């Protein structure tokens, strides 16, 4: 009898594909191992063994596999079950989940391109075949696997490529190289023994005969009055002394050196004791444990700076002590050194970080550590994709800032929500889930209210610091009275001045990056448009160019209007870059930093800017959304929200909820350590209900109002929504397809269909877009509705003219 395997291919296929294997292969292979196979027109893929059996496929002759790539399974049974849930819930193929789940280095295929590692020199360490590839790459900057197959003269090349990657000779091309490597900056401070002002005279006396050392101490105290950490280089410069003298003070135990920026996550052996919980935190900790007795998932709703992290730490400790793994999920952007540092101090030898910005090798390393259940992989900190790691023994999943939109993957498929998928994953491991937020999403709070999740609250900030005082500034009024300078009201300027005078730091939040969203001709009113997308181009002052944020198109800033030729081009609206420029003029002495997508491209760039802010080299930090997430700076006393209206006016059913969350989170950055912070919100609509709720942190009032609207307008949590997007380069074709699809869906779902409609941005990268929304009431079966949608999709794709239209389904597209 012949032997066969069903495999998952990393492409969207509706069914699993079957290959033939030999008897020897059958006795060696296990589910979850990878094999190299040919599929389609001589394309090679890395497939995953799903099932081993003896039933030949119907309708085609099974091909043989090329070779087995693993000695042990790299994917386990629980993972496959989880993928199956994702594939069925989010209506995508198992292959798409497989592709998203594994690090790309595990998924070599014929189109994969490889490149030489620049400084590779160990040629002697290469085998003959490896050397052939190495040599070819001397002449050609990159090679596809297909080309390598031709060079070596056989199809079984994946293992050779794997060893070349292991030897660090080549890399898979998609890898992003890191430009910025942070260097460790050395700072100096008094040792604990001498760090008290009354010790100063004693110290000076003891150095009475060391003139140079005395001079350094005096300079040190001068610098210290600025309340900023002191760099060793600065101390040396200002005191006009040599490093040898400073070193002698260190040797004497008077000074000590410390570092502020840390780079790659490696455990330096330092560890700290877990903090004693306050009585409120202790109560919350006990309540969570109590809730876990009957509930799988608990929402920890704790105001900003209430010490949620410290409560998580206690829970993590408990689970690790029980010998189980912990997954700590956080929104993409929040992977700051701050949290990593804190967790590293407590769990250094147990902690690994998994991040999409990490290099391929680092990701493979973490994958393997988790697979082998190594000590270092007992606590995994990562963004949404870390949920796909090969956990075998999860005890707890923490979803921090659970309301964050970046837990949802929009493109490509699988279009999953990491919070919801994590809850399912936890069920499969029989593990617990804690969802944490100061501003829970409506759907999570609803689930807690319904008793589906447990609810534990922490309503006090650590140290009993009051929540910041929020002031709404009416800019319409300010404009009328001519009290605006650029985009700053006199009130906000006054508050900034006061903070800077007190040597405190300021955060300014602006919802847009770049200098000004659009350039407009003052004569004819036309704005330059992206040639590929239906959007106006954005002006970037730094390079004096126009850019499209959707497709990356760039062009130089024109001198004349393309429509009428007039030279009166004006920039309209404002972004982070313009705020930064205005600040430089308004506060020439202050050091201003900016944090947005443009300034934080590299892996370390967040850390660089945040490190500078932390070490108080930056006085005012201007930024977008990124600033709202979990940052903890003791010296920030003022947060300014430059323009609250552009969030509120966003055309989306969650705009109000999101605005509330964003503003409360940003405000939460103020006054965390001791003094009550201040927040100024500039707006044209100070009476807007959401702004009123933000200013009093009236979460439950906001929740009730939003929930009522959701009920009235048929939105989640009362209705499920599934969004279908059609894309094609031919305008008429996508239009016809959308009309056909709309009619078919309406015949099934009646009035619960919205559209077909043209989205706000109707063309991206030359593809015209149409969308349809299916709303599914709670009483209607979700599974049945999905089957119906799938049937309509199959019928749609059976129509010749429509076959080339891209058809995306997004379940829970919010
Ligand atoms: P949240 O995550 O709720 O915003 P954090 O966990 O970041 O709050 O805590 C805010 C600050 O208070 C942090 O600097 C943290 O170190 C400090 N803190 C919280 N709880 C304690 C505690 N029990 N003992 C000492 N410091 C604490
Ligand atoms: Zn014009
Ligand atoms: Zn574009």
More confident residue, 373 or 146: 373
Whole-model pTM: value is: 0.81
Cβ–Cβ < 8 Å for 626, 600: yes
Ligand nearest to the CA of 568: 2
Confidence of residue 381 (pLDDT cuts 50, 70, 90): very high
Structure-model confidence comparison of residues 613 and 264, the more confident one: 613
Give the residue with greater pLDDT, 605 vs 316. Answer: 316
Give, using CA atoms, the residue closest to atom 24 of ligand 1: 275
Average pLDDT over residues 122-145: 87
CB-CB contact of 532 with 539 (8 Å): no
Give the range among 303-307, 552-556, 651-655 with minimum mean pLDDT: 651-655
Tell me, using a 6 A CB cutoff, whether residue 742 lines ligand 1. Answer: no
pLDDT score at 515: 52
Cα 525 to averaged position of ligand 2 atoms, centre (Å): 6
Provide the 3-class DSSP secondary structure of residue 570.
Answer: strand
**Cβ 281 under 6 angstroms from ligand 1:** yes
Strands 636-641 and 545-547: unpaired
SS (H, E, C) 580-609: HHHHHHHCCCCCEEEECCCCCCCCCHHHHH
Residue 771: CB within 6 Å of ligand 1? no
pLDDT at 183: 45
For residues 547-560, average pLDDT? 84
For residue 168, give the 3-state DSSP assignment: coil
Q: How far is the CA of 468 from the centre of ligand 3 (A)?
A: 40
Share of the chain above pLDDT 70, in %: 92
The angle, 0 to 180 degrees and rounded to 10, between the axes of the packed helices 418-429 and 77-89 is 140
Q: Indicate if ligand 1 lies below 6 Å from the C-beta of 465.
A: no
Atom of ligand 1 nearest to the CA of 311: 6
- Average pLDDT on 102-118 reads 84
Between CA 9 and CA 777 the distance in angstroms is: 35
Q: What is the mean pLDDT of residues 163-177?
A: 73
At 414 the pLDDT is 96
pLDDT tens, position by position, 345-377:
899 889 998 876 666 667 888 999 999 999 999
Please report the atom of ligand 1 found closest to the CA of residue 668.
4
- Which of the two residues, 537 and 414, has the higher pLDDT score? 414
* The residue count for the chain: 814
Q: Is 60:16 a contact under the CB 8 Å cutoff?
A: no
Residue 147, pLDDT > 90, answer no
- Report residue 57: phi and psi, to 5°: -70, 155
- Per residue in 47-88, pLDDT tens? 999 999 999 999 999 999 988 988 899 999 999 999 999 999
Reply yes or no on whether the pLDDT at 389 is more than 90: yes
Q: Whose CA is nearest to atom 5 of ligand 1?
A: 307
> How close is the Cα of 559 to the center of ligand 2, in Å?
11
Ligand 1 atom with the smallest distance to the CA of 306 is 3
Q: Helix crossing, 699-712 with 442-449: angle to 10°?
A: 100
Q: Which ligand is nearest to the CA of 566?
A: 2
User: What pLDDT does 54 receive?
Assistant: 96
pLDDT for residue 629 is more than 80: no
User: Percent of the chain beyond pLDDT 90?
Assistant: 50
Contact 384, 328 (CB under 8 A): no
- pLDDT at site 176: 39
Residue 312 vs residues 277, 347, 423, 793: alpha-carbon distances, Å: 11, 12, 17, 44
The 10 Å Cβ neighbour count of residue 490 is 14
Per-residue pLDDT reduced to its tens digit, 574-598: 678 888 989 999 999 999 998 876 6
What is the position in ligand 1's atom list of the atom closest to the CA of 342?
16
Q: Please, are residues 557 and 605 in contact by the beta-carbon 8 Å criterion? A: no
Give the number of whichever ligand sits closest to the CA of residue 570: 2
Q: Which atom of ligand 1 is nearest to the CA of 303?
A: 3
3-state SS, 358-372, equals CCHHHHHHHHHHHHC
Residue with the bigger pLDDT between 464 and 268: it is: 464
Residue 572 binned pLDDT confidence (cut-offs 50, 70, 90): low
pLDDT at 234: 84
Euclidean distance between CA atoms 471 and 694, whole angstroms? 10
SS3 assignment, position 296: coil
Which atom of ligand 1 lies nearest, measured to the CA of 458? Answer: 3
Burial of 94 (0-12, 13-18, 19+ CB in 10 A): buried
Element (H, E) at 704: helix 699-712
**What is the Cα–Cα distance from 700 to 703, expressed in whole angstroms?**
5
CB-neighbour burial class of residue 759 (10 A; exposed 0-12, middle 13-18, buried 19+) = middle
Least confident of 345-354, 384-393, 755-764: 755-764
Q: How confident is the model at residue 646 (pLDDT cuts 50, 70, 90)?
A: confident
Strand duo 230-231 + 186-190: pairing: antiparallel
Whether the per-residue pLDDT at 154 is higher than 50: the answer is: yes
- If we measure between CA atoms, which residue out of 171, 118, 119 comes closest to residue 143? 171
Q: Which long-range contacts (CB under 8 A, 24 or more apart) does 226-233 make?
A: 226/503, 227/503, 227/616, 227/635, 228/615, 228/616, 228/617, 229/187, 229/189, 229/260, 229/615, 229/616, 230/187, 230/188, 230/189, 231/185, 231/186, 231/187, 231/188, 232/186, 232/187, 232/188, 232/257, 233/186
Q: Which of 215-229, 330-344, 379-393 has the highest mean pLDDT?
A: 379-393
Task: Give the model confidence (pLDDT) of 250-283 as tens digits.
Answer: 888 888 887 754 333 444 555 677 889 999 999 9
Cβ–ligand 1 contact at 628 (below 6 Å):
no
686 lines ligand 1 (CB under 6 A): no
pLDDT at 526: 79
pLDDT of residue 512: 66
Report the pLDDT value the prediction gives residue 630, as an integer from 0 to 100: 60
Strands (E) across 686-766 are located at 719-728, 753-757, 763-764
For residue 556, what are the β-bridge partners?
A: 545
Of the bound ligands, which one is closest to the alpha carbon of residue 314? 1
**Within a 10 A sphere around the Cβ of 497, how many other Cβ atoms?**
14
| pLDDT reading at 505 higher than 90 | yes
Is-contact 290 230, C-beta < 8 A? Answer: no
Burial of 427 (0-12, 13-18, 19+ CB in 10 A): middle
Do 73 and 106 form a contact (C-beta atoms < 8 A)? Answer: no
Distance 532 CA to ligand 3 centre (A): 5
CB of residue 277 inside a 6 A radius of ligand 1:
yes
> What is the predicted pLDDT for the residue at 517?
66
Q: Looking at ligand 1, which atom is closest to the CA of residue 277?
A: 23
The residues near 661 (Cβ < 8 Å, ≥ 6 apart) are 403, 439, 441
Q: Average per-residue pLDDT in the chain? A: 87
**342 CB within 6 A, ligand 1:** no
Q: How far is Cα 539 from Cα 554, in angstroms, rounded to an integer?
A: 10
User: Which of 74-78, 487-491, 596-600, 808-812 shows the lowest mean pLDDT across its residues?
Assistant: 596-600
| Higher-confidence position of 735 and 673 | 735
- Ligand 1: does its nearest atom lie under 6 Å from the Cβ of 307? yes
pLDDT of residue 180: 33
What is residue 481's predicted lDDT score, i.e. its pLDDT? 94
Per-residue confidence (pLDDT) for residue 179, from 0 to 100: 32
Nearest to 727 by CA among 760, 753, 765: 765
pLDDT tens-place string over residues 692-711? 999 998 999 999 999 999 99
């Amino acid at each position: 009898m012949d032997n066969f395997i069903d495999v998952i291919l990393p492409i969207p296929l509706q069914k699993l594909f079957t290959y033939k294997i030999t008897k020897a292969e059958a006795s060696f292979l296990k589910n979850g191992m990878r094999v190299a196979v040919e599929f389609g027109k001589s394309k090679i893929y890395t497939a995953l063994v799903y099932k081993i059996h003896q039933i030949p496929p119907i309708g085609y002759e099974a091909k043989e596999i090329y070779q087995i790539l693993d000695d042990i399974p790299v994917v386990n049974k629980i993972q496959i079950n989880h993928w199956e849930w994702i594939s069925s819930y989010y209506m995508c193929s198992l292959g798409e989940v497989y592709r998203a789940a594994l690090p790309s280095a595990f998924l070599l295929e014929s189109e994969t391109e490889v490149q030489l590692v620049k400084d590779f020199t160990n040629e002697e360490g290469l085998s003959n075949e490896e050397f052939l590839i190495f040599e070819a790459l001397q002449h050609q900057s990159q090679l596809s696997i297909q080309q390598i197959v031709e060079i070596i003269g056989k199809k079984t090349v994946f293992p050779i490529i794997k060893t070349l990657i292991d030897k660090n000779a080549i890399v898979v091309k998609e890898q992003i190289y890191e430009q910025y490597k942070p260097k460790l900056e050395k700072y100096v401070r008094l040792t604990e023994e001498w760090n008290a002002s009354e010790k100063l005279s004693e110290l000076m006396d003891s150095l009475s005969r060391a003139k140079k050392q005395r001079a350094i101490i005096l300079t040190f105290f001068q610098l210290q009055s600025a309340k900023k950490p002191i760099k060793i280089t600065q101390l040396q410069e200002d005191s006009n002394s040599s490093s040898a003298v400073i070193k002698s003070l260190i040797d004497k135990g008077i000074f000590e050196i410390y570092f502020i920026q840390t780079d790659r996550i490696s455990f330096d052996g330092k560890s700290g004791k877990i903090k004693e919980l306050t009585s409120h935190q202790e109560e919350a900790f006990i309540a969570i444990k109590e809730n876990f007795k009957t509930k799988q998932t608990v929402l920890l709703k704790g105001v900003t700076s209430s010490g949620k992290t410290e409560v998580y730490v206690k829970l993590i400790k408990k689970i690790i002590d029980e010998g189980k793994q912990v997954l700590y999920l956080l929104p993409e952007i929040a992977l700051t050194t701050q949290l990593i540092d804190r967790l590293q101090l407590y769990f250094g030898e147990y902690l690994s970080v998994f991040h999409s910005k990490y290099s391929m090798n680092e990701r493979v390393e973490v994958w393997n550590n988790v697979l082998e259940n190594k000590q270092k992989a007992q606590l995994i900190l990562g963004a949404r994709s870390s949920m796909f790691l090969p956990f075998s023994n999860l005890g707890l999943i923490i979803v921090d800032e659970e309301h964050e939109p970046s837990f949802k993957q929009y493109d490509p498929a699988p279009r999953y929500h990491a919070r919801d998928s994590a809850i399912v994953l936890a069920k499969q491991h029989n593990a617990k889930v804690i969802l944490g937020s100061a501003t829970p999403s409506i759907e999570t709070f609803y689930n807690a209210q319904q008793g589906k999740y447990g609810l534990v609250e922490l309503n006090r900030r650590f140290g009993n610091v009051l929540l910041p005082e929020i002031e709404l500034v009416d800019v319409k009024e300010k404009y009328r009275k001519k009290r605006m300078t650029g985009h700053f009201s006199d009130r906000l300027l006054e508050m900034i001045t006061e903070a800077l005078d007190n040597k405190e730091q300021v955060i300014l939040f602006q919802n847009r990056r770049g200098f000004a969203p659009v350039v407009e001709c003052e004569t004819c009113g036309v704005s330059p448009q992206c040639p590929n997308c239906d959007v106006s181009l954005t002006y970037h002052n730094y390079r004096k160019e126009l850019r499209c944020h959707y497709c990356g198109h760039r062009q130089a800033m024109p001198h004349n209007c393309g429509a009428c030729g007039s030279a009166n081009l004006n920039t309209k609206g404002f972004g982070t870059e313009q705020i930064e420029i205005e600040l430089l003029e308004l506060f020439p002495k202050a050091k201003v930093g900016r944090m947005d997508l443009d300034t934080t491209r590299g892996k370390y760039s967040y850390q660089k800017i945040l490190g500078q802010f932390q070490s108080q080299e930056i006085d005012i930090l201007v930024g977008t959304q990124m600033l709202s997430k979990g940052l903890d700076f003791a010296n920030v006393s003022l947060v300014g929200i430059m323009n609250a209206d552009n969030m509120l006016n966003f055309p989306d059913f969650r705009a109000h909820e999101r605005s509330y969350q964003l503003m409360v989170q940003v405000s939460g950055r103020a006054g965390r350590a001791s003094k009550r912070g201040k927040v100024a919100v500039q707006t044209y609509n100070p009476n807007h209900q959401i702004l009123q709720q933000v200013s009093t942190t009236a979460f439950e009032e906001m929740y009730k109002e939003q929930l009522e609207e959701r009920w009235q307008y048929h939105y989640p949590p009362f209705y499920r929504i599934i969004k279908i997007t059609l894309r094609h380069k031919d305008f008429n074709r996508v239009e016809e397809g959308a009309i056909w699809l709309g009619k078919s869906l309406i015949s099934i779902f009646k009035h619960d269909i919205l559209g077909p409609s043209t989205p706000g941005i109707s063309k991206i990268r030359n593809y015209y877009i149409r969308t349809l929304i299916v709303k599914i009431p709670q009483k209607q079966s979700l599974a049945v509705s999905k089957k119906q949608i799938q049937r309509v999709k199959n019928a749609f794709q059976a129509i010749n003219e429509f076959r080339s239209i891209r058809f995306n389904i997004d379940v829970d597209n919010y």
